[in-house]
Amino acid sequence: MSVTSTKINTTPKKSVVELENATIRFAGDSGDGMQLTGTQFTNTSAIFGNDTSTLPDFPAEIRAPAGSLPGVSGFQVNFSSRDIRTPGDQPNVLVTMNPAALRVHLSDLEPGGIIIVNTNSFAPLNLKKAGYESNPLEDGSLAGYRVIQVPLSELNANALKNVSLARKEVDRCKNFFALGLTYYLFDRPLDPTLEWIREKFKKNTVILEANTLALQAGYNYADTTEVFTTHYRVRSANLTPGKYRNITGNEATAFGFIAAAEASKRPLFYASYPITPASDILHELSKHKNFGIKTFQAEDEIAAIGAAIGASFAGQLGLTGTSGPGVCLKSEAIGLAVMAELPVVIADIQRGGPSTGLPTKTEQADLLQAMYGRNGECPAIIVAPATPGDCFKMAFEAFRLATRFMSPVFFLSDGYLANGSEPWQIPSVEDLPDIEIQSRTDPEKFHPYLRDKVTLSRPWAIPGTPGLEHRIGGLEKQDVTGNVSYNPENHEYMVNLRAKKIAGVANFIPEVEVFGPTQGELLVVGWGSTYGAITSAVESMQEQGKSVSSIHLRYLNPFPKNLETVLSNFNKVLVPELNLGQLLTLIRARFLIKATGLQKVQGRPLKISELKDKIDQLL
């Protein structure tokens, strides 16, 4: 934690330390409510005026045994009085509800960091489940940290002894007791969470009372005892004036698709098969039937993409969402959309692979799959958001490009962006670009593959329009007429024409912007969720006088048309990715430069410190 001023005495025994930013991680069993606890702390901090960035960490096991290492759930939040871009490299405070949570997350805690531990859970059986041979609270292994031992379960039970709840239900409220402790530690108000409890449990007054008492008891315990001799204050950030809300990447993605439907004046049809970490998009879109949104939970991935293609053929915004395993199953049908030249958007929320892989962890390993993972020469547009809030903009952009160029578009997000959150300045509707769609209605000289001279896109002719009867499908088409053609020269011509159409998209997307000097020693090139760590690391190195700049690619196929020029202005190029070097491979092949990679495939996001070390090494 970065102390920016001296201590301010408030009482003889307690003091306040002002911090520029702090990072806290809540960890416990998957049933301990750590995601809810972290979300409430984040929302309160956002209301307080801090800039925030979060990293939820879900267990992959649905029903892992209680107290076991695979069942540990975590939530990290970085909150600050200045602009931040990542959830923090290391937590300053670790709140652990049991020994397994301590064992899983202790290695990430900063040296000398604070551990708030529920001592009631450190029974011999729980220690054994976590793989401890001795109690770490007693054997000296935590000597390098500030350990705050709290009999949290017992104190919570005492606070709720007059509430008519079973013992198990009482114990489920202990996360709010822990939340109250951390609210005191970081000088957070209780009111936002109390209001949330009242609204959430207004139909269950017993649960409402229990959670209220637990939250207040945790805060009052910290306030009236000497367990904390210091508490910390992170002042509000100087954010750009406007209306904000805390938003996750999946929420922003859903809102971006809804906005595209409103801007284009076309119905949105979303077809998907539930899959982590994309399912939240289905959940969010299903709430907005008032905007004419249609959601369809298909029986499998193939049915989902088929339904989306059908909706697109019928003149609606066809959309499907999935993760890497689902893209594999959809690949043949995506090829059909390429051949039929229909504007379908495929939202791929990437996760660790291959196969089932790491379903709840993040990865960026589907880029080459989106680029080449279909039979034949089968080009598609690819866009990728950089932050949770940016998911809104790039989801909107996906449909702008799909409908303008009559092409499938991949929207490549990932688990880190999908589940992470940040304050998002709500855009004005008037500031959103129009998506102008002009369906063909005139039958005069109509042909299904008669192309626009600028975009090379074919007309979008809605079935049922008089005089515009036509046939499309997966077999190769004759130029202009759309008739089935087996002519070798025509096939080569159509393959090149489809590729030329996608390449021409570069004339309709922004040029890449350089963060820092436009020429120098080292350029860091990123895409997707690496944006925060890359930009923060480069900014820090620039402040040290190092010759380093960065660019971030939101358009991956085609690349921005000035990319080659930008790359040529630097002596060295570094490409950090959460894969084994997929963008690195594309850049080396396309531009014939000797770029260097920084690969990480651990299911975790890049750290600022990892990037700074690599930059130092290259410089």
Using CA atoms, how far apart are residues 277 and 261, in angstroms rounded to an integer? 23
Using CA atoms, how far apart are residues 332 and 312, in angstroms rounded to an integer? 17
Q: Please name the amino acid found at residue 273.
A: Y
Residue-wise pLDDT for 590-619, tens only, equals 999 999 999 999 999 999 999 999 999 999
Which pLDDT band holds residue 253 (cuts at 50, 70, 90)?
very high
Q: Is the pLDDT of residue 5 over 50?
A: no
Which pLDDT band holds residue 14 (cuts at 50, 70, 90)?
low
pLDDT value of position 229: 84
Least confident of 36-45, 59-68, 100-109, 359-368: 59-68
CATH number, domain 245-427: 3.40.50.970
Q: Are strands 381-383 and 555-557 parallel, antiparallel or unpaired?
A: antiparallel
Q: Is the pLDDT of residue 259 over 50?
A: yes
Q: What value does the mean pLDDT take over residues 120-147?
A: 96
Question: What does the mean pLDDT of the chain come to?
Answer: 95
Using CA atoms, how far apart are residues 92 and 460, in angstroms rounded to an integer? 55
Domain with CATH 3.40.920.10 in the chain: 8-234
Residue-wise pLDDT for 297-313, tens only, equals 999 999 999 999 999 99
Residue-wise pLDDT for 551-574, tens only, equals 999 999 999 999 999 999 999 999
Bridge partners (DSSP) listed for residue 227: none
Using CA atoms, how far apart are residues 574 and 413, in angstroms rounded to an integer? 21
CB 179 within 8 A of CB 137: no
Domain with CATH 3.40.50.970 in the chain: 245-427
Bridge partners (DSSP) listed for residue 573: 523
pLDDT value of position 239: 83
Distances (CA, A) of 485 to 479, 480, 489, 490: 9, 11, 10, 7
Residue-wise pLDDT for 371-404, tens only, equals 999 999 999 999 999 999 999 999 999 999 999 9
Q: Is the pLDDT of residue 8 over 50?
A: no
To the question of domain 8-234 being in CATH 3.40.50.2300, the answer is: no
Backbone angles phi, psi at 28, to 5 degrees: -175, -165
Contacts of 259 (CB under 8 A, 6+ apart): 392, 395, 396, 432
CB 92 within 8 A of CB 22: yes
pLDDT value of position 13: 52
Q: What value does the mean pLDDT take over residues 514-536?
A: 98
Domain with CATH 3.40.50.920 in the chain: 520-618
Report cis status (omega within 30 of 0) of the bond before 192: no
Q: Is the pLDDT of residue 438 over 90?
A: no
Q: Which CATH number fits domain 520-618: 3.40.50.800, 3.40.50.920, 3.40.50.1110, 3.20.20.120?
A: 3.40.50.920
